[in-house]
Amino acid sequence: MTELVTVFLTVFSGVVTYIVGQLVLKLLIEPVQDLKKTIGMISYALIERGSVISNPGNSTKDVIG
């Protein structure tokens, strides 16, 4: 009987550990990664279009060509 309880507690603790790990992943780690990805995309767009942003009076022919 005690062996059955030990097996049950081992499996139960494994399941609880998995669930807590998934909660931490979904609630903490993934939002931070998405934030960093968004910041990177904004940074790239600002660097790529920096000349247009800093010189808004230029025509599109000067910028593209």
Domain membership of residue 35 (yes or no) is yes
Domain membership of residue 37 (yes or no) is yes
- pTM more than 0.75: no
The pLDDT tens digits for 8-64 are 999 999 999 999 999 999 999 999 999 999 999 999 999 988 887 787 776 556 555
Domain membership of residue 61 (yes or no) is no
Tell me the Ramachandran region of residue 24: left when phi exceeds 0, alpha when psi lies from -120 to 50, beta otherwise. alpha
Range of the domain at 43: 20-47
How many domains are there within the chain? Answer: 1
Domain membership of residue 25 (yes or no) is yes
Predicted confidence at residue 36, as pLDDT, reads 97
Domain membership of residue 4 (yes or no) is no
Kindly write down the DSSP assignment for every residue of 14-33, as one continuous string: HHHHHHHHHHHIIIIIHHHH
Domain membership of residue 8 (yes or no) is no
Contacts (Cβ under 8 Å, ≥6 apart) of 58: 52
Domain membership of residue 9 (yes or no) is no
Domain membership of residue 31 (yes or no) is yes
CA angle 40, 50, 39 (to 5 degrees): 15
CB 63 within 8 A of CB 51: yes
